[in-house]
Structure 1
Amino acid sequence: MNAVTEPLVSIIVPIYNVEKYLDQCVASLIQQTHHNIEILLIDDGSPDNAPAICDAWQHKDERVHVLHKTNSGVSASRNAGLHAAKGEYVCFVDGDDWIEPDFVEYMLELQAKRNADIVASLCCFTSTDFHQRTQDEVSTINPQEAMELFFYPTIELGAWNKLYRRSFLTANNLEFITDFCAGEGLQFITLAASKANCVTVGQKKVYHYRTDNATSATTKPDVERQGIGAITTMQYICEHLDLSNPKVRKAYNWRLWSTYGYCLRQIIATHQEHVYRDLLRTCIHHRRSLALPMIAADISMKRKIIAVLTFISPTVVAKLSLR
């Protein structure tokens, strides 16, 4: 397949305070084996040197396009990328992550198997996991199965490590909700999955998810943005997503239970138990009341044991997980 017949793929990169990692990220995009790509670098009013780095890459490669905007958050940045995208397919890469040279090629291969609206890899490299899987396993699942998959801990949360048919996103008015402080990726991918014709998933690792960025919003404890923000998103999902399928509801309940645990850890990690006394009680209540039903969830035995221990003492389990 030559560059003329290759489908155009838009790679959207929201950028804020990632000057340390940005060159590695963009270099990995430039080096894709699938050449017919457009790289949309969305500078979200970054106060560091990232805007200048973006401009430098735009001068180096005509496939790179930079959009400078006032700071409005990662969701608004991704939406700006979606509005500017011209590709038949779109994908998202965070500015502090990077991808393997065959990321786009692999995703397109998955898409071609069943003409899926969404494709994803179940696995990714992390800052502590550098090992490739010995063999790839590919399957195509229906919308309900995909929603289960995204709620359960089977796959890393987020809009990244996936490929979407752009016409599918446009036809269903699928964008990121800009009011969310946390969990915006989960809301997007579960809603998208519910509307997809099908979702094809593989297991080959082609995405590098950085877990050691100390400046990342997801690595710094923040009760308001991360803890309360995640709970707010889960409540929104419950109100706006069809959870009538029992298996989907069970998966959602696991994610909700997990989110209350996440918020509890945020409170403890920031030593603000006295500040968020009512929220602390709420988190403990939900962690305990929902713990035993988690034994029936589609999770590992280790997680089921943690659920039993959480029923006994949610606070102790939360403190142990922070060590």
Structure 2
Amino acid sequence: MGNNYFSIIIPIYKVENFLEKCINSVLHQTFLKYELILVNDGSPDKCGVIADNFAKKDHRIIVIHKSNGGSSEARNFGLMKATGKYVLFLDSDDFWDDIDALQKLHIALEKKNSDILIFGCKDFDAQRKEFVSKKTEFDLSIFQKNKKEIVEYLLKNNMFPGAAWILTVKKSILTNNNIQFRIGVKAEDIEWLISIFIYAQKIDATNEFFYVYLKNRQNSITATPDSKSILGILHAIDSWKLKLKSEKSPLLSFLQYQYFIAIMILNNKNLENRKLIFSELKKHKDLLNISYSYTTKAKLLASFIRFFGLLKSSKILAYVYKKQKAN
């Protein structure tokens, strides 16, 4: 494993205007026991050159050049090279705004030898040029309890991680359980997150909010949900629903929320294979069971969709979401 405590993996594709800021936010860290793995996913712009130039100046940087295969494949390539005790992901148009971020994570991880450590993020609107999200701090006393109670707390308070980059995970959890990102879909984080929470035993959090997520970036490949987004959700449901139901896992609530999102995306006019996707979504209507819901909003959504049906609900939900986003 060497001297690397962290392996930081950045998949790169068509972000030449953002990449230097992203990389520098890691290189400026006061904690030095890390490796930075830059995976150039066949980017057609100057990203590959930028990555190579950084690597020439810092021995901690590893650059992987590969043909374009998507974010999931790029992350998996990075994981194959990773030697750190813990793994962190950073999207190449985002950045960290605290030079002591890794130092603070290291201190927190050493206290409990956690399998997962969740931290916070701030949303920065690229169009409005301002931060648009509020910090919601964790009740850290909850993380002294058992895993089921911790997961229930996260779900009830809308704090369950929605992306791989909002936590650090022990690499042995990934390697011992062969956990990788599913290739060829969007929403790949869903299945990955369920997997690590299933296999991890020690879950902790810190009230450090250093991850800056860039919202509403022009030409962002994740900005428009499509068929691949729904397929990612359906893969997660197919992989985990029966197991989570049999174990009466609180993670069913997380899966249910993703099902709501898939129903909303169904209204996308440019959706490919709409009939097939609709048919697949109908197979999982059991996820509308309100006993899986941990919040009032989720219970209302489940009841709403059961009453109006998938297609009509999709139109209404998409309309409401569009209105909220405009405001």
TM-score above 0.5, yes or no? yes
Cα distance in 2 between the residues matched to 1:135 and 1:225: 33
What is the deviation of 1:304?
4.3
Cα distance in 1 between the residues matched to 2:206 and 2:278: 39
What is the deviation of 1:233?
3.0
Cα distance in 2 between the residues matched to 1:15 and 1:134: 30
Does residue 163 of structure 2 align to residue 158 of structure 1?
Answer: yes
Conserved in 2, the CA contact under 8 Å of 1:13 and 1:42? yes
Conserved in 1, the CA contact under 8 Å of 2:138 and 2:205? no
Question: Which residue is 1:184 aligned to?
Answer: 188
Supply the RMSD in Å over aligned alpha carbons. 3.2
Does residue 229 of structure 2 align to residue 208 of structure 1?
Answer: no
Cα distance in 2 between the residues matched to 1:249 and 1:228: 19
Cα distance in 2 between the residues matched to 1:66 and 1:303: 43
Question: Which residue is 1:248 aligned to?
Answer: 250
Question: CA distance change for structure 1 residues 84 and 170 in 2, over 3 Å: closer, same or farther?
Answer: same
5+ residue gaps, structure 1, are none
Question: CA distance change for structure 1 residues 213 and 25 in 2, over 3 Å: closer, same or farther?
Answer: same
Alignment of 1:295-310 (within 5 A): 297-299=293-295, 301-310=296-305
Deviations 1:202-224 (A, max 9, x none): 233121122222322321242x2
Question: CA distance change for structure 1 residues 39 and 303 in 2, over 3 Å: closer, same or farther?
Answer: same
Cα distance in 2 between the residues matched to 1:279 and 1:90: 34
Q: TM-score, normalised by structure 2?
A: 0.80
Q: TM-score, normalised by structure 1?
A: 0.81
Does residue 117 of structure 2 align to residue 119 of structure 1?
Answer: yes
What is the deviation of 1:97?
1.1
Flag as ranges the 4+ runs of structure 1 deviating above 6 A: 149-152, 284-287
Does residue 45 of structure 2 align to residue 48 of structure 1?
Answer: yes
Conserved in 2, the CA contact under 8 Å of 1:21 and 1:96? yes
Does residue 253 of structure 2 align to residue 258 of structure 1?
Answer: no
Q: Specify the SS of the correspondent of 1:48.
A: coil
Question: Which residue is 2:89 aligned to?
Answer: 92
Moved more, 82-91 or 126-135: 126-135
Alignment of 1:1-323 (within 5 A): 8-100=5-97, 101-121=99-119, 123-128=120-125, 129=131, 133=135, 137-138=139-140, 139-140=142-143, 142-145=146-149, 153-178=158-183, 180-222=184-226, 224-238=227-241, 241-248=243-250, 250-265=252-267, 267-268=268-269, 270=270, 276-277=274-275, 279-280=277-278, 291=288, 293-294=289-290, 297-299=293-295, 301-310=296-305, 311-312=307-308, 314=313, 315-323=315-323
Question: CA distance change for structure 1 residues 256 and 98 in 2, over 3 Å: closer, same or farther?
Answer: closer
Question: CA distance change for structure 1 residues 81 and 208 in 2, over 3 Å: closer, same or farther?
Answer: same
Cα distance in 1 between the residues matched to 2:228 and 2:292: 31
What is the deviation of 1:64?
1.6
What is the deviation of 1:52?
0.9
State the identity as a percent: 26
Question: CA distance change for structure 1 residues 308 and 109 in 2, over 3 Å: closer, same or farther?
Answer: same
Conserved in 1, the CA contact under 8 Å of 2:237 and 2:255? no
